[in-house]
Structure 1
Amino acid sequence: MHLQQTKRGSRETGGPQYYFHDLTEDVSHYLRLKRAVPVALVTPYGATPSKFMAISKDAKLSSERKVIQGSVGHDRIQQAAAGESIGEAIRRWYNLPSGDFERIDVEIDTLDEEFYLIPVGYKYAVQSRRAVIKRPEFPLSFTDEKQSQLWRKQLRHVKDRHPEMWRWSLHEICRVAAAHTKGSGVANVDEKDLLRASGPLSVMGVELGPYVKKGYDCEGKFQFLDFEPYDVPVEIKKASSDFKYQQKRYSPEQLSRVVILCVKHNLVNVPPNVDVVELQALCSAQHH
């Protein structure tokens, strides 16, 4: 599947538009059925909500953004209430160079009644070669079993730039994790105690907001490498197996996207769109 950029020379009349080509049968059928499907853009960090809409070739959005009969003749991504085109959003999130896209290769997953749009390659109009974008796979996970490339690069980046803060942060993370292990000598430690790691985590590029009683536990902000900041709900758990898929507790506008912050990762079959940050695994990173 790919998006074809049109109107490259007509930015004054609305800017670049993007038509779908070679949609899979299931995606095409779903789009015909719904006529308009919200789009969640998958970034280097994972999925993020957007204002983009996938529109069927026989539909369009009215000025009130209602789906009505249309005759464009192309399945497409419409800017809708977004402040930029889908191509510009992809360029911004992935730090791609400026220029007009000829095509953007994509994959689409249907979750939460939305199209999760995953860029996997692109070609500029003035270039002959196609460039590849690596599909993120659990991009914010750092556990004994799974240490994402994004996390590894970020840890190296912090270690190279701020070696003393890197050592202090991991020492503090180890100290917090140790208080939750057997034999620590501390009884009845609450899971909220993990928020003591918020200071050292901020050095690593992870900010945790206030702990709240309704919905997700707190809002997280990840700022890795040269990428833009990424907001995502965070659930605080002693063990990742304590996590229950809590999408029904979230507002309808939110994706089923969450990061679990835990001491020990023991959740079997982590759901799609869920990442796990294991403090014990981060503690071990100081020895690598």
Structure 2
Amino acid sequence: MHLQQTKRGSRESGGPQYYFHDLTGAIKTFLRKRGAVRVALVTPYGGTKSDYFAVSTVHKLDNKQRPVAGRVGHDRIQQGLAGESIGEAVRIWYQLPPGDFERIDVDIDIRDDVFYLTPLKIKYAGKPKTRELRRIDRPLTFTHTYASPLWIEQLVDLNNKQPGIVAWALDEICRIVKDHQQSTRLPHIQEPDLLRASGPLKHLGMTLGGYVGKGYDCFTEFRFLNFPVYSVPVEIKRNSQGFRYQQKKYGKEELSRAVVLCAIHQHKQMPQHIDVIELGALCQHAEKFPSTLTK
């Protein structure tokens, strides 16, 4: 499946547009039945909510972003209320050089009636070469059994820029985790105590928002490497076993996308789009970043 760009030279009449080509039967059937489907762009961090819509060949969007009969003649991505084209959004999220895309190869998953669109390859207009985009599985996950390359690269990059900061942050996390582990657990310690890790986590690129009592626990921002800031709900759990996937999500217009921050990860069947950050695993990773502080 791929998106083909049109109207590259007509920015005054709406700018670049992107038509779908080679959609699978399942995707095409779903789109034709719905008329329009909201698109979640998958970024280097994972899926993110957007204002883009996939619109079928015989539909268009009215002024309230609802599908009505139309005659465009192409299945396409429509900008909706977004501030830029889907191609420009891909360029920004993946930190690609300026320029117009001729083609974007994509993968599409249907989840909660939303198209999760993952860009796989891009080709600039007038350029002969195609460039592959890296696709990272569970990009924000860090557990004893799996550490995302994005996390590893972030820690290495931080350590190179600020020698000693990663060691300090991970040592602080170790101190917090100790109070939650079974063998050294502090009597009567509460789950929200894990928020003590907010300071060291911020130094690692993860800024926890306010802890709320309804819906998600913390709306959190990630700033890794040179990528834009990514916002996602975070659930605080001492043990990830306590996490229950919410079929109703966090609100009618929200994605089923979240990160679980836990001291211990023992959840056996975490949904694919739920990342897990296990503080105990980050603590164990401290051995790779020896402290440079003199005693």
Do both proteins adopt the same fold according to a TM-score greater than 0.5, normalized to the shorter chain?
Answer: yes
Alpha-carbon separation, structure 1, partners of 2:249 and 2:120 = 32
Instruction: Give the residue type in structure 2 aligned to 1:250.
Output: Y
Per-residue CA shift, 1:183-240, capped at 9, x if unaligned?
A: 3262121110000000000000000011111001111110000000000000000111
Alignment of 1:222 onto 2:210? no
Name 2:141's counterpart in structure 1: 141
> Is 2:31–2:55's contact at 8 Å kept on the other side of the alignment?
yes
Alpha-carbon separation, structure 2, partners of 1:249 and 1:287 = 37
Name 1:120's counterpart in structure 2: 120
- Aligned to 2:248, what secondary structure does the other structure show? helix
Structural mapping, 1:34-53, within 5 Å? 34-53=34-53
Alignment of 1:160 onto 2:144? no
Percentage identity across aligned positions? 53
Instruction: Give the residue type in structure 2 aligned to 1:238.
Output: R
Cα distance 1:207–1:79, how it changes in 2: closer, same or farther (>3 A)? same
Give, in angstroms, the shift of residue 168 of structure 1.
Answer: 1.3
Alpha-carbon separation, structure 1, partners of 2:33 and 2:147 = 39
Cα distance 1:116–1:185, how it changes in 2: closer, same or farther (>3 A)? closer
CA root-mean-square deviation? 1.0
Cα distance 1:240–1:185, how it changes in 2: closer, same or farther (>3 A)? closer
Of 241-250 and 275-284, more deviation after overlay is shown by 241-250
Per-residue CA shift, 1:232-267, capped at 9, x if unaligned?
A: 000000111110002425111110000000011111
Name 1:253's counterpart in structure 2: 253
Alpha-carbon separation, structure 1, partners of 2:71 and 2:186 = 68
Instruction: Give the residue type in structure 2 aligned to 1:79.
Output: Q
Per-residue CA shift, 1:26-71, capped at 9, x if unaligned?
A: 0000001000000000000000000000000000012333321111
Structure 1, unpaired ranges of 5+: none
Name 2:17's counterpart in structure 1: 17
- Aligned to 1:158, what secondary structure does the other structure show? helix
Alpha-carbon separation, structure 2, partners of 1:117 and 1:134 = 14
Give, in angstroms, the shift of residue 158 of structure 1.
Answer: 1.1
- Aligned to 2:251, what secondary structure does the other structure show? coil
Name 1:81's counterpart in structure 2: 81
Alpha-carbon separation, structure 2, partners of 1:211 and 1:226 = 27
Alpha-carbon separation, structure 1, partners of 2:75 and 2:89 = 19
Name 2:181's counterpart in structure 1: 181
Alpha-carbon separation, structure 1, partners of 2:43 and 2:273 = 12
Name 2:292's counterpart in structure 1: none
Instruction: Give the residue type in structure 1 aligned to 2:72.
Output: V
Instruction: Give the residue type in structure 2 aligned to 1:22.
Output: D
> Is 2:136–2:149's contact at 8 Å kept on the other side of the alignment?
no
Give, in angstroms, the shift of residue 101 of structure 1.
Answer: 0.6
Q: TM-score by structure 2 length?
A: 0.96
Per-residue CA shift, 1:90-145, capped at 9, x if unaligned?
A: 00000011111110000000001100000011111121111101223100000111
Alpha-carbon separation, structure 2, partners of 1:254 and 1:66 = 18
Alignment of 1:63 onto 2:68? no
Of 113-122 and 244-253, more deviation after overlay is shown by 244-253
Count of aligned residue pairs for this structure pair: 288
Q: TM-score by structure 1 length?
A: 0.98
Alpha-carbon separation, structure 2, partners of 1:246 and 1:193 = 23
Name 1:207's counterpart in structure 2: 207
> Is 2:249–2:256's contact at 8 Å kept on the other side of the alignment?
no
> Is 2:94–2:227's contact at 8 Å kept on the other side of the alignment?
yes
Alignment of 1:267 onto 2:267? yes
Alpha-carbon separation, structure 2, partners of 1:137 and 1:279 = 19
Instruction: Give the residue type in structure 2 aligned to 1:214.
Output: K
- Aligned to 1:163, what secondary structure does the other structure show? coil
Alpha-carbon separation, structure 1, partners of 2:56 and 2:131 = 28
Instruction: Give the residue type in structure 1 aligned to 2:246.
Output: Q
Instruction: Give the residue type in structure 1 aligned to 2:232.
Output: V
Over 6 Å off, 4+ runs: none
Alpha-carbon separation, structure 2, partners of 1:256 and 1:99 = 32
Alpha-carbon separation, structure 2, partners of 1:117 and 1:185 = 43
Instruction: Give the residue type in structure 1 aligned to 2:2.
Output: H
Alignment of 1:107 onto 2:137? no
> Is 2:249–2:255's contact at 8 Å kept on the other side of the alignment?
no
